[in-house]
Amino acid sequence: MSEQKMSLRDTIKPKSDQLNYDDVASQTLTVKVVTLKAGDEQQPVVIETDTTLPYKPCKSMRRVLIAAWGDKGKDWIGESMTLYGEPTVKFGGVEVGGIRISHLTGIDKPLVIKLTTTRSKRADFTVQPLVLKEATK
C-alpha cells in the first residue's frame, strides 16, 4: 500500500480484548449480535459481534438493551446496534469516555428510557430505530 493511502488509524488502537471508547470516539460502528457469553463480576455480559472485538456493555446500556430486546439473551442474537463514543461518560467522577448505543434493530419507534446520570439524578436516553439496508446481489 502506498504511504499516501495508508490509514494510520490502526496504529492508535488500544491493545484490548474488547471494544473501547477509542474504537468509536471518532466514528460510529454498527455491529450484529452473534452470541452472548457470561463475563465476570465487573463486566457480566460479553456480546460477541460480527466484528473482531466483543462489546461489553455497561449497566446503563444493558438496561437499554433489555428495554428494547427483552431479558433473554437468545432473543438478542441476530439483532444489530450502532455504537458511538460519548466523551462525557464518567467513571469514579472523572470523564473517561464510554460507549453508548444510538440505534437498534427490533424497535419501530424511538425508545426513551430514564437512566441514572449521578446517584440522585436520572435523565432521558433515546435510542433510534436502526433500519439496515438489504444486501444487493
Residue type at position 81: M
Verdict on whether the full-model pTM lies above 0.95:
no
Given a cut of 50, whether residue 137 has pLDDT beyond it is no
Closest of 82, 8, 91, 12 to residue 49, by C-alpha? 82
Q: What is the pLDDT of residues 41-70, one digit of tens each?
A: 989 999 999 988 999 999 999 999 999 999
Residue partners of 25: CB distance under 8 A and separation at least 6: 85, 87, 97
The answer, yes or no, to whether residue 130 has pLDDT greater than 90, is: yes
Beta bridge partners of 124: 114
Q: What is the pLDDT of residues 64-112, one digit of tens each?
A: 999 999 999 999 999 999 999 999 888 778 888 899 999 999 999 999 9
> Would you state the pLDDT for residue 55?
96
Query: 118 vs 34, which has greater pLDDT?
Result: 34
Nearest to 104 by CA among 74, 60, 54, 66: 66
Pairing mode, strands 111-118 and 121-129: antiparallel
